[in-house]
């Protein structure tokens, strides 16, 4: 008995940035500009049907229909918030699901996207850590979140932040290609000041990022010393503050306009005292920095509590008096479980038998949707 002949997999052109797209078309024996034209059709115009790409030769369109496709994540469900926030849970080809959150704020509109399914860094205050890690997202799955939101929204995006599920620098190559696409004038055309990558502090990857990318940088700090950060952000045990802070300063060294955004989730009685503020001021001395204070959003099973609003404000004022720019992030999307660190939905994992557990999707508590 002979087995069925499997057709070769089609190339998902959503996975290709400009250089990869040009190389793909060159490999087919065509001029690079055809790749640029197709890139523009896919991202700027949202067209996935090769037959509708009118400035691409008809023979090439037919060839692409045989060997390529534009495969985007599908919307499993969507929830709007009373404050205008919108949450999408997107389903991937293998049945895995990720979350993407849109936050409007006056003239500003921010999309918070994921880079992994789950996360392996196990930060103690983060609900995503409770899921564990499943896999990295592909370029197409990362930029596909922007593609979907761009099509669904009635207004353009002004900012994209990689602050959803996962540690972006642990998925380095795909994240760099995706952020290149988000900044590409033939795609979404956002400036380096409008695309922000948030990391918990993978120092070697951060230093490598400086060599190949110019996205804005946010760092999940959450503690002013190694002892506390070892508990809250365990990757600190491998890359302590004395290694992380110089890498952050180096990242913005050549651009006086830029500062590193340090994210600091406010935990009652844990990291929110005057002494912690004083230590934080000393820690960041000499680093071009701004602080983003994030009220903790509790989730089931968490032992932490949010700092009182007046404690957060006193903490912020102390930082400000030292000359350290500090803002308190507004909690958005709480009514639909889309705020930072909250559960964003309980979705049945189709790979499990009936009666299996629900999979919980959440943003990293250290993230800041509006950084």
- What pLDDT, in 10s, does the model give residues 42-82? 999 999 999 999 999 999 999 999 999 999 999 999 988 88
pLDDT at 139: 98
Indicate if the pLDDT at residue 251 is higher than 70.
Answer: yes
How is residue 288 written in tokens?
């071009």
CA dist 316 and 326 (Å) reads 6
From residue 153, alpha-carbon distances to 88, 145, 216, 278 in Å are 12, 12, 24, 43
Indicate if the pLDDT at residue 336 is higher than 50.
Answer: no
- Give me the catalytic one of 112, 123, 126, 340: 340
Lowest mean pLDDT among 55-69, 92-106, 150-164, 328-342: 328-342
CA dist 262 and 252 (Å) reads 13
CA dist 316 and 36 (Å) reads 47
- Give me the catalytic one of 99, 141, 167, 263: 99
pLDDT at 83: 84
Q: Which of 91, 72, 238 is nearest to 169 (CA)?
A: 238
Lowest mean pLDDT among 17-31, 75-89, 95-109, 333-347: 333-347
Q: How would you label 221-257 residue by residue, b for 16+ Cβ within 10 Å and e otherwise?
A: bbbbbeebbbbbbebbeebbbeebbebbeebbeeeee
Indicate if the pLDDT at residue 4 is higher than 60.
Answer: no
Write phi, then psi, for 292 (nearest 5 degrees). -120, 100
Q: How confident is the model at residue 366 (pLDDT cuts 50, 70, 90)?
A: very low
CA dist 217 and 220 (Å) reads 10
Q: Which helix (H) or strand (E) holds 60?
A: helix 58-67
| Residue 248 annotated as catalytic | no
| Residue 310 annotated as catalytic | no
List, in order of start, the domains of the chain with CATH numbers. 11-69 (1.10.150.530), 74-362 (3.20.20.70)
Contact 78, 86 (CB under 8 A): yes
Q: Which helix (H) or strand (E) holds 111?
A: strand 108-113
CA dist 261 and 319 (Å) reads 14
Question: Which residues partner with 228 through β-bridges?
Answer: none
pTM: 0.88
């Amino acid at each position: 008995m002979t087995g069925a002949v499997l057709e070769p997999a089609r190339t998902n052109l959503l996975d290709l940035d400009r250089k990869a797209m040009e190389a793909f078309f060159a490999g087919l024996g065509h001029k690079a500009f055809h790749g640029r034209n197709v890139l523009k059709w896919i991202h700027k115009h949202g067209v996935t049907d090769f037959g509708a790409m009118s400035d691409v030769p008809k023979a090439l369109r037919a060839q692409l229909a045989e060997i390529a496709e534009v495969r985007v994540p599908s919307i499993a469900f969507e929830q709007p918030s009373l404050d205008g926030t919108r949450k999408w849970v997107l389903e991937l080809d293998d049945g895995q699901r990720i979350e993407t959150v849109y936050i409007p704020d006056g003239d500003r509109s921010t999309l918070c996207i994921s880079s992994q399914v789950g996360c392996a860094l196990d930060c103690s205050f983060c609900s995503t850590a409770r899921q564990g890690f499943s896999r990295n997202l592909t370029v197409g799955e990362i930029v596909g979140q922007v593609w979907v939101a761009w099509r669904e929204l009635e207004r353009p995006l002004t900012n994209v932040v990689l602050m959803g599920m996962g540690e972006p620098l642990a998925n380095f190559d795909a994240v760099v290609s995706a952020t290149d696409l988000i900044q590409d004038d033939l795609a979404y055309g956002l400036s380096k000041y409008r695309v922000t990558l948030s990391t918990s502090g993978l120092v070697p990857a951060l230093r490598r990022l400086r060599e190949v990318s110019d996205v804005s940088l946010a760092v999940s700090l959450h503690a002013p010393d190694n002892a506390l950060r070892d508990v809250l952000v365990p990757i600190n045990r491998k890359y302590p503050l004395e290694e992380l802070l110089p890498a952050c300063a180096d990242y913005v060294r050549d651009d006086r306009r830029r500062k590193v955004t340090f994210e600091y989730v406010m935990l009652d009685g844990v990291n929110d005292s005057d002494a912690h503020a004083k230590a934080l001021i000393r820690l960041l001395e000499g680093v071009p920095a701004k602080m983003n204070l994030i009220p903790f959003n509790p989730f089931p099973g968490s032992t932490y509590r949010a700092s009182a609003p007046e404690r957060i404000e006193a903490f912020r004022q102390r930082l400000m008096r030292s000359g350290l720019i500090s803002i308190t992030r507004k909690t958005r999307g709480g009514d639909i479980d889309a705020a930072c660190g909250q559960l964003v939905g309980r979705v049945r994992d189709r790979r499990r038998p009936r009666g299996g557990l629900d999979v919980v999707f959440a943003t990293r508590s250290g993230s800041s949707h509006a950084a």
